[in-house]
Amino acid sequence: MTLAQLTLHEASDKLRKREISSVELTEAVFQRIADTDDKIRAYLILARDAALERAKRADEKLKQGTDPAPLLGIPIALKDNFLTKGLRTTCASKILGDFMPPYDATTVEKVLAAGAVITGKTNLDEFAMGSSAENSAFFPTRNPWNLERIPGGSSGGAAAAVAADECIAALGTDTGGSIRQPAACCGIVGLKPTYGRVSRYGIIAFASSMDQVGPMTKDVRDSALLLEAIAGRDPGDSTSADLTVPRYSEMLTGEIKGLRLGIPKEYFVSGMQPEVEQAVRGAIGELEKHGAIIEEISLPHTEYAVAVYYIVATAEASSNLARYDGMRYGRRAAAKDLTETYMISRDEGFGAEVKRRIMLGTYALSAGYYDAYYLKAQRVRTLIKRDFDAAFQRCDVILTPTAPTTAFKLGEKTQDPL
């Protein structure tokens, strides 16, 4: 095993025992990037010099002998929609191609305070809009296991970087599956925490009522350790929950006897790839063998979930992306007047998928259509939530497939946005 292949907790343990140094670990990760990323294209921006400087500082702290934080000296990648002071942040969009943030996102501050080493910024679907990492304004990312296939999205670059050992762990964002689906496509662990558990301050917004930061790691223990570092109340984010952060890693006992597992029948319908169903059913059987109680449940409003997502998310995106007008920051087109500046800047700066979602959201919010679309979608969203509330009265956990198919081929679905 090379140093770049270590999990977060394995690397942390070796650093504590002084078996390796953070500089050695960081150099191993950058060597792995040099060896593989010309094919995978997981990264948009690398921060080698700053990373090695942080690694040196981490080694100095490790020499002091005090009990270090689990992230101290660990190379971590960030999806390129996290604001990073002094490090370009593009959101994989031409409209922010040269944007240099004046401050760090709260989650970035937290991992830096814990001693993590930031390797760089990873590719994504532009403004986190997509499920394949093909909607980046710069280039698509490829799946490390099969370069002809997508890594998932929108956090496709982060997932590919973790799977290819181009970082030890990564942070992504999830609105409607953007951590979980690429994690599944790349065979890693992805977690979307409960909304409000992690601060959104300094994350470039897509759909504010759904966006959430989460860990993308090589195993479950790593996700627990990374979530411990980033979770918690943030005065800068009024939606963050004022709750104590548990020691998630200490809860990983492996004991699941008596755990009530709900299997929603609506999730196993026609259209699912047979291999996906076979794998999930196999996992259910394995959990049952270890003492979990399996029970079929119903989530009757499931069929409306995607439609609700596409109305609510695009409406919020239309509002959030109005700030990119060529005036305050980002791309500004040469034009003869103010209106033309707005129009040309946005036309040149946004890609096709982002334009589609802005137009759909603007339509859903427009006079005469707000009640029929946006308000109706919010009401159905409440019904979907009630389905889950009722299900959790009967079971502890709901187990579902992450996506109905495995990773599809690059270009296979670009002609049909739906």
Q: Model confidence over 116-147: pLDDT tens digits?
A: 999 999 999 999 999 999 999 999 999 999 99
pLDDT of residue 328: 83
pLDDT of residue 53: 98
pLDDT of residue 264: 96
DSSP secondary-structure letter at 330? S
pLDDT of residue 66: 80
DSSP H or E run through 352:
helix 352-365
pLDDT of residue 270: 74
pLDDT of residue 96: 95
Q: Do both 221 and 292 map to the same domain?
A: no
Which active-site residues does the annotation give? Answer: 79, 154, 178
Q: In terms of Cα–Cα distance, which of 104, 139, 105 is closest to 125?
A: 139
Residues of the chain with pLDDT under 70: none
Q: Do both 223 and 304 map to the same domain?
A: no
Last residue of one domain, picked from the residues 221, 251, 281 = 251
Last residue of one domain, picked from the residues 251, 270, 295 = 251
CA distances from 184 to 225, 304, 374, 401, 407 (A): 20, 23, 31, 9, 8
Q: Do both 274 and 236 map to the same domain?
A: no
Please give the residue range of the domain that contains residue 387.
Answer: 256-418
pLDDT of residue 1: 81
Q: Do both 287 and 227 map to the same domain?
A: no
Q: Do both 68 and 212 map to the same domain?
A: yes
**Which long-range CB contacts under 8 A does 33-39 form with residues at least 24 apart?**
33/119, 33/166, 36/144, 36/164, 36/166, 37/164, 37/166, 39/142, 39/147
Q: Do both 39 and 170 map to the same domain?
A: yes
Enter the pTM of the model.
Answer: 0.96
Q: Do both 165 and 272 map to the same domain?
A: no
Cα separation, 47 vs 45, whole angstroms: 7
> Would you call the peptide bond into 154 cis, given omega within 30 degrees of 0 as the criterion?
yes
The total domain count for the chain is 2
Residue located via tokens 């999990």: 7
What does the angle CA 356 – CA 362 – CA 365 come to, to the nearest 5 degrees? 140
Q: Do both 351 and 222 map to the same domain?
A: no
Exposed/middle/buried for 82, CB within 10 Å: 0-12, 13-18, 19+?
buried
Q: Do both 202 and 285 map to the same domain?
A: no
